Amino acid sequence: MLILHHLAPLHWAVAGALIGVITLLLLWLTNQRLGISTGFENVCSLVVNAPYLRRGEITGSHGFRLPFLAGLVLGGVLSAVSGGGWSPFWDLGRFDATFAWGPAGKLAWMFVGGVFIGFGTRMAGGCTSGHGIFGLSNLEGASLASTVSFFGAGIVMAHLVYRVLA
């Protein structure tokens, strides 16, 4: 919304401090970790009766994580409404300039990317927000390794897609 409506963003230090305060409050008040991929498991556990989704860490966090996810969606809706509305678009900028795929190719690319991201978050035991924000702030070694891997893989893929395949 900021870019589309030419609004000035918060200074990075202010935004970072707010994320830090929210993370600390979340841990102190609820004893819950910040992360989005576990929320996806919470939503899936409402409709799929699989043992993996019936673990205590999933079912025990419904009271926190489901309202948290609803708040993320509601925040996006409020942002769109207050910013003058939202409409989907197919323009993917440099990707279009490099590959010139139609909507079906773009959907396939995004689907495959989503599968890889989902696999990676389960393999790493969490997503970039969980490891990069929460885990690193708690000095967790596994989160450092995961975050370095996330960023390293992103850099390698960006170079592969835009410099080798282009």
Q: Three-state SS for 82?
A: helix
Q: In whole angstroms, what separates CA 41 from the centre of its chain?
A: 13
Report DSSP state, residue 114: H
pLDDT digits (tens, 9 = 90+) for 128-137: 888 888 888 8
pLDDT at 1 over 80: no
Q: What percent of the chain has pLDDT over 90?
A: 10
pLDDT at 9 over 80: no
pLDDT at 79 over 60: yes
Q: What is the C-alpha separation between 74 and 80, in angstroms, rounded?
A: 10
pLDDT at 94 over 90: no
Given the structure tokens 């990676």, which residue do they identify? 120
What is the average pLDDT across 7-28?
84
| Average pLDDT value for the chain | 84
Q: What is the C-alpha separation between 91 and 161, in angstroms, rounded?
A: 17
Instruction: Give the number of other CB atoms < 10 A from CB of residue 121.
Output: 22
**What count of residues does the chain have?**
166
